[in-house]
Amino acid sequence: MVDVSRKEVTGRTATAHAYVSMSPEVIEALPQNAKGDPLEVARIAGILAAKKCAELIPLCHSLPLSHVAVEFELESQGISIIATASTTAQTGVEMEAMTAASIAALTIYDMTKALDKAIEIREIYLLEKTGGKSGTYRRKDSAQ
């Protein structure tokens, strides 16, 4: 692990994106899913994943998260996922946000795979991060 003991404790946030590509028929069938509401289950899965990030990614620091949010936007060809994590710590929360978005996407896949095997998970990336020595980063092609 990187030694962050000399870094300043600051407020830090990160927002990540993931996209689950699926047919309009699968999107239309979401409310009738036999396993339950895929988006609500994915929201909880993403939040739990952010909290477990240091256990999943070997060299991540364990962080006291102050907030995690996972939001969805239904689109004609899939679901856009936006995950945000916040903390006050000596290192950033980019990996927590990325993990939340990724696991939310995998959960949607798991809950809808019976309807269509061609579902794809793609476009996992950092949209924005704030705080720390390097300051603010915003993805150039982002409307966020």
Positions marked active-site: 110
For residue 61, the SS3 value is coil
The amino acid at 105: A
Angle between helices 94-112 and 38-51 (to 10 degrees): 150
Using alpha carbons only, what angle is made at residue 79 by residues 21 and 139, rounded to the nearest 5 degrees? Answer: 95
Residue 12's closest CA among 82, 84, 81? 84
